[in-house]
Amino acid sequence: MKSILVTGSAGFIGSALTLKLLENGHKVVGIDNLNNYYDISLKEARLDRFYNHINYKNHITDIEDQESIKKIFDNNEIDIVINLAAQAGVRYSLINPQKYICTNILGFTNILEACKRHKINHLIYASSSSVYGLNKNIPFSTSNMTNHPVSVYAASKKSNELLAHTYSYLFNIPTTGLRFFTVYGPWDRPDMALQQFANSIMKDKPIQLFNYGKHKRDFTYIDDIVDGIIKVISRPAIPDPDWDPVDPNASSSSCPYRIYNIGNNSMIELERYVNLLEKELGRKAKKELLPMQPGDVEDTYANVDDLVVDFDYQPNTPVEVGVKNFAKWFKIYYQV
């Protein structure tokens, strides 16, 4: 049994991970600010699945609140930290960039400082496929450059990776960054594509398909993401003995620092994704085909070879099954 702190425990990924950790016998300290970026009742419903579990402790606070984070670390025996709290959404970062700087950078720094003071055994944190930005070297590999982000959200996640390396180097904190690729499934966010599409289809409203529906995404089912995170918990990052400062590997270092892609390792065109959803909902979508939006990456496709080699990661949920599971949950939760 480990004591694991999960930030963003009421979020889509955080709640699914917390539920699985508790099922596996771990103690979980959860942090979430329950903000109103989207429907709070959905966050509360996620929490209800484990809120009263004997091994769960809930804290409603913001990772931006340095003093509150300090008290939580001081008052709990914590072995491992998994930072999933973030201001999400690429397009919202065009409207409110300050929120991304405050939560994703200042908040993450507060977590790093707490990990430093308490000599945490392993910090795992959420990065994003968005960091690949203008890079079109498909499939995306962690050896690729990520210096050309195209949204403030992506820049904030790249900043997390840089800060994590700095703290790993200066204070010997083992840090592992996971670049998530288009996570989907039951209990997802209302602002994510699948739930937006489902809502519009059931209300007979048009869905907006940017890049004329030709986007390709490495859609990754929530259970496969959770499985990957849990595998990574067991092995904190260590210094790479083969790391060469003259020809540096971008995903490792001479300090205990690692970066991995975590995705389904396949690409699916957005239009096919919609077709599968239409089939499961039993309705046809009205489609509004639009050009590329600022901040969007045209295609995403994860090379997960490192995660497979190091942790035997095997994403095994076909998109047909994942969309079916989502649609079943959606119809029950929203009573449609």
Asked if pLDDT for residue 92 goes beyond 90, the answer is no
Read off the pLDDT of each residue in 218-226 and give the average, rounded to a whole number: 96
Pick the closest to residue 128 from 314, 269, 299, 260 (CA basis). 260
Of the pLDDT bands very low, low, confident and very high (cuts 50, 70, 90), residue 232 is very high
Q: What is the pLDDT of residue 181?
A: 94
Asked if pLDDT for residue 65 goes beyond 80, the answer is yes
pLDDT tens-digit map of 16-30: 999 999 999 999 999
Asked if pLDDT for residue 317 goes beyond 90, the answer is yes
pLDDT tens-digit map of 156-195: 999 999 999 999 999 999 999 999 999 999 999 999 989 9
**In whole numbers, what is the pLDDT of the chain averaged over residues?**
94
- Top-confidence residue, 295 or 124: 124
Q: What is the pLDDT of residue 51?
A: 96
Of the pLDDT bands very low, low, confident and very high (cuts 50, 70, 90), residue 152 is very high
With tokens 């060469």, the residue in question is 244
- 3-class secondary-structure state, position 256: coil
- Top-confidence residue, 295 or 112: 112
Read off the pLDDT of each residue in 290-313 and give the average, rounded to a whole number: 84
Contact 159, 104 (CB under 8 A): yes
CB atoms within 10 A of CB 244: 9
The β-bridge partners of 64 are none
- Tokens linked to 60: 């409603």
Q: What are the backbone dihedrals phi and psi of residue 168, each rounded to the nearest 5 degrees, phi first?
A: -65, -40
Q: What is the pLDDT of residue 295?
A: 62
Task: Report d(CA 271, CA 155) in Å as an integer.
Answer: 28
Contact 131, 86 (CB under 8 A): no
Catalytic residue numbers, as ranges: 153
Q: What is the pLDDT of residue 297?
A: 66
Asked if pLDDT for residue 293 goes beyond 90, the answer is no
CB atoms within 10 A of CB 117: 12
CATH number of 3-184+222-266+301-316: 3.40.50.720
User: What are the extents of the domains in the chain?
Assistant: 3-184+222-266+301-316
